Amino acid sequence: MFETLSGKLGDVFERLRKRGALTESDVSEALREVRVALLEADVALPVVKTFIDGVKSRAVGQDVLRSVTPGQQVIKIVHDHLVEMLGGEAGAEDESGINLNAVPPVPVLMVGLQGSGKTTSTAKIALRLMNKERKKVLMASLDVYRPAAQEQLKILGEQNSIPVLPIVAGQMPVDIAKRALQAAKLGGYDVVMLDTAGRLHVDETLMLEVAAVRDAVQPHETLLVADSLTGQDAVNVAKSFNERVGVTGIVLTRVDGDGRGGAALSMRAVTGKPIKLIGVGEKVDALEPFHPQRIAQRILGMGDIVSLVEKAAETIEKEEAERLAARVQKGQFDLNDMASQLKQLRKMGGMSGVMNLLPGVGKVKQQMAAANVDESVLKRQEAIIGSMTKDERSNPKVIHASRKKRIAAGSGTSVQDVNKLLKQHLQMADMMKRMSKLGQKGFMRSMGA
């Protein structure tokens, strides 16, 4: 997501930055391009208009144009406005963004259209609250219409050890909701997540039912789940739900897809409600807090280093990272170490997962695609190392022609691939040596710690 937009804005700003002095018309011209880029990313028209007007009124001021780095200043203004448009830094004050400041069990109502990712998000949030905030969470499905909806939540609960309210055949949504609250009270739960039924479109029956459940349980949070791939539709759905049942926050799903980003960008401005969490994959742990500042930086091609380091810290095994750091410090880096690094990298979501968080992504990504660097390459490299003997891994110098042939055959690759890997290892080992000479404690350690 955001890649096309990021690429376009990157071009506009690169031109601005290169010029020493800027006139008012230079800025207007650049903003015209920003406007088109935002509209092409499917951002709602009124939101674009307010955004551009806001930036313009500040960017054409004398102070900015006369400054030493007018280009940079304009970019900073765009950045600040973007952060504001995405909701400012407020929504992200705590990790889940979900407000649980009430007498337990706190009811959280999940609403949205069918297929938006509501049930999956319910389980994702429950798991997050359990693991990160040590809450006791009960889930209940109020979807009595879609065949197997209740069953789906039950299975998700069983697979992830999340308690689910037992299904009682024939019971209606409001009664299920009341029963869930009662069970949560008796069971000493902190949170009850209520997964309501969705429809394919916003309709009167759906709204009435959700409103009836809301009145019965008085939810502390009502989270609207919206599919970011549906662009402006997602925003319109959020608007309707907010008007009819009142929502307290938005969960945007499929942010891992190749949506144009319009939903994420307009959601806050149109509904006035914060995006609290984003779904970034099908797995139950693919949920992240929404940080306007980080997203803005990603869109502007400044990268999202904070998320990258956090991600690394979460996925890299600490002991392994420390072992590696110790070896690097001594200037040692053999093929075992390289295999371990490749594995860690793959666990972080492979190249594409990591690349999305790096600065200047658009261009590098294109280059990588052209060079065909992807997860399959990582896997192949691991396979090559896997086909070596222990001795070869710790002492790559012994790998001569006949051994290369054997390794290539064993890993289903070519001698050329083996050579490439060995060369890459030499380069990495060399870099590690230099790092150790610099006396740095090492990047690895800071990641694992």
Q: Is 7 known to sit in a ligand binding site?
A: no
Find the binding residues for ligand GDP in span 119-148 (CB under 6 A). Answer: 119-120
Comparing CB distances to ligand GDP, the nearer of 67 and 114 is: 114
Q: Determine the interface stretch with ligand GDP among 5-13, 17-25, 113-121, 417-425 (rule: CB under 6 A).
A: 113-121
Q: Determine the interface stretch with ligand GDP among 27-35, 157-165, 173-181, 275-283 (rule: CB under 6 A).
A: 275-283
Comparing CB distances to ligand GDP, the nearer of 282 and 314 is: 282
Comparing CB distances to ligand GDP, the nearer of 79 and 298 is: 298
Q: Is 370 known to sit in a ligand binding site?
A: no
Q: Is 413 known to sit in a ligand binding site?
A: no
How many CA atoms within 13 Å lie on the side-chain side of 293? 9
Min separation Cβ 153 and ligand GDP, Å: 8
Instruction: Report the amino acid identity of residue 261.
Output: G
Min separation Cβ 287 and ligand GDP, Å: 8
Q: Is 50 known to sit in a ligand binding site?
A: no
* 209 lines the binding site for ligand GDP (CB under 6 A): no
Q: Is 328 known to sit in a ligand binding site?
A: no
* 197 lines the binding site for ligand GDP (CB under 6 A): no
Instruction: Produce one character per residue of 360-393: b if its CB has 16 or more CB atoms within 10 Å, e if not.
Output: ebbeebeebeeeebeeebbebbbbbbebbeeebb
* 281 lines the binding site for ligand GDP (CB under 6 A): yes
Min separation Cβ 5 and ligand GDP, Å: 19
Q: Is 71 known to sit in a ligand binding site?
A: no
Distance, in Å, from the CA atom of 300 to the CA atom of 267, rounded to the nearest integer, reads: 19
Comparing CB distances to ligand GDP, the nearer of 97 and 448 is: 97
Q: Determine the interface stretch with ligand GDP among 65-73, 210-218, 235-243, 273-281 (rule: CB under 6 A).
A: 273-281
Q: Binding-site residues for GTP, please?
A: 112-119, 195-199, 253-256
Binding interface with ligand GDP (CB under 6 A): 112, 114-120, 198, 253-254, 256-257, 279-282, 286
